[in-house]
Amino acid sequence: MTADPLSWLDARAAERVDAGLRRELRPRTSDTACIDLASNDYLGLVRHPEVIEGAIASVRYWGTGATGSRLVTGTTAEHEQLEAELAEFVGAEAGLVFASGYAANLGAVTALAGRGALVVSDAGSHASLVDACRLSRARVEIAPHRDPAAVDRLLAERREERALVLTDSVFSADGDLAPLAELHRVTRENGAVLVVDEAHGLGVRGAGGRGLVHECGLAGEPDLIITATLSKAFAAQGGVVLASERVRAHLIDAARTFIFDTGLAPAAVGAARAALSLLRRDPAMAQRVLDRAADLARIAGVGQPDSAVVSVVLGEAQVAYDAAQACRERGLSVGCFRPPSVPEGTSRLRLTARADLTEDELATIATVLGEVLAEARAREVVPA
Ligand code: PMP
């Protein structure tokens, strides 16, 4: 009999159990069973009747699937409308939608950098940008978190002609902001291009939710490229690159995740368009997300957040895991970040604000979180 070639998986699983790093899939139940502080539905639109109708109308018209690559049968007139609407919203010349935000990042970075280029990425950039670096075959340098001076040095010392700088606008683990104005300045001075992932910025930061790039006065800059997801504030699924017409045309020709992936499903296109239209009609939604995030931070006893993400660092992985579990048992769904998503000893609860959190929900959150956090903090080792 041959040995089981996957027996090493059992040893790995046991190691993760010992380290408090088990990961479990927890199917979402009904909407009323739990208060949601874990999702990325920042504007609270995934069940909005107009968004649902938008998805249904697109499915009725175009069918359930995109049916092919964007270059073959997967582009509908509605894909192009969505691209134009998103571009106009953020102040970019053009847009190109992808099947996911992950695919948008992989596609944009690999098509714009390659052998003979330099990519400088912030140490806190999202995993999809990290993977994009690896796939790009460019020389990759990781700059310390939020450090434009370091980016400047790395760009100035380069031998490569072409260079790309990568950063999230709002970092997903801590919800902190990239110093975009400075980053853009050093990028431009060094003849490089800045790629900003606005996954957590769109719908939350900037006038009416136009994003942090817009807020920093950088909309439409020819050497700045925005990537984003449609799965957070826009309550759908999919990704987008927002840039110049020239960059869009290049990505259509060269981005492998655009060319070889099936186009975005019509339901997602219809839902994202409806969500964007709602945000345009009620631009104060974006500020409401920030206001609710400030409420959550006050309740959790942490500093005021700059985004929808409120990070409550607890320390050991097991302490954070148990706290998240205790919240869940008491009707609060919260995120739990442990290594390798965050550094050792900084495991945390991650709360995300929604524009539509009610006063009643906030009162329940205050009671439950107050008790759970007091217990978790009592377990932490206090340094001598
Ligand atoms: N970038 C960031 C910063 C993200 O948080 C995410 C999603 N977690 C992505 C990209 C990937 O987007 P998508 O889920 O649409 O693939």
The model's confidence at residue 25, banded by pLDDT at 50, 70 and 90, is confident
Q: Using CA atoms in the order 238, 242, 245, 250, what is the torsion angle rounded to 10 degrees?
A: -60
Q: How far apart are CA 144 and CA 52, in angstroms?
A: 42
Q: In what order do the strands lie in the sheet with 117-122?
A: 94-98, 239-243, 224-229, 193-197, 162-168, 117-122, 139-143
The closest-lying atom of ligand 1 relative to the alpha carbon of residue 231 is 15
Instruction: Kindly give the pairing relationship between strand 35-37 and strand 332-337.
Output: parallel
Q: Is 325 helix (H, G, I), strand (E, B) or coil?
A: helix
Q: Using CA atoms in the order 348, 350, 351, 353, what is the torsion angle rounded to 10 degrees?
A: 150
| Cβ neighbours of residue 7 closer than 8 Å, sequence gap 6 or more | none
Ordered by where they begin, the domains of the chain are: 27-42+308-377 (3.90.1150.10), 49-281 (3.40.640.10)
Q: Specify whether the CB–CB gap between 198 and 212 falls below 8 A.
A: yes
Residue 66 has pLDDT above 90, yes or no: yes
Q: Specify whether the CB–CB gap between 255 and 170 falls below 8 A.
A: no
* Backbone φ and ψ of 380, nearest 5°: -70, 145
**Integer Rg of the chain from CA:** 21
Residue 382 has pLDDT above 70, yes or no: no
Higher pLDDT, 298 or 23: 298
For residue 78, the number of C-alpha atoms closer than 13 Å in the C-beta half-sphere is: 23
pTM, whole model, 2 decimals? 0.95
Determine if ligand 1 sits within 6 Å of the CB of residue 41: no
Q: How far apart are CA 103 and CA 19, in angstroms?
A: 32
Question: Poorest-confidence range of 63-67, 252-256, 354-358, 377-381?
Answer: 377-381
pLDDT in tens, 289-344: 999 999 999 999 999 999 999 999 999 999 999 999 999 999 999 999 998 888 89
Determine if ligand 1 sits within 6 Å of the CB of residue 172: yes
The model's confidence at residue 31, banded by pLDDT at 50, 70 and 90, is low
Per-residue pLDDT averaged across 355-364, rounded? 97
Res 76: pLDDT? 98
Give percent above pLDDT 70 in the chain: 98
The closest-lying atom of ligand 1 relative to the alpha carbon of residue 103 is 16
Res 32: pLDDT? 65
Per-residue pLDDT averaged across 266-283, rounded? 98
Res 384: pLDDT? 42
- The CA 349 to ligand 1 mean position distance, Å, reads 19
* Ligand 1 pocket test target in 131, 204, 229 with most atoms within 8 Å of CB: 229
pLDDT in tens, 91-104: 999 999 999 999 99
The closest-lying atom of ligand 1 relative to the alpha carbon of residue 239 is 15
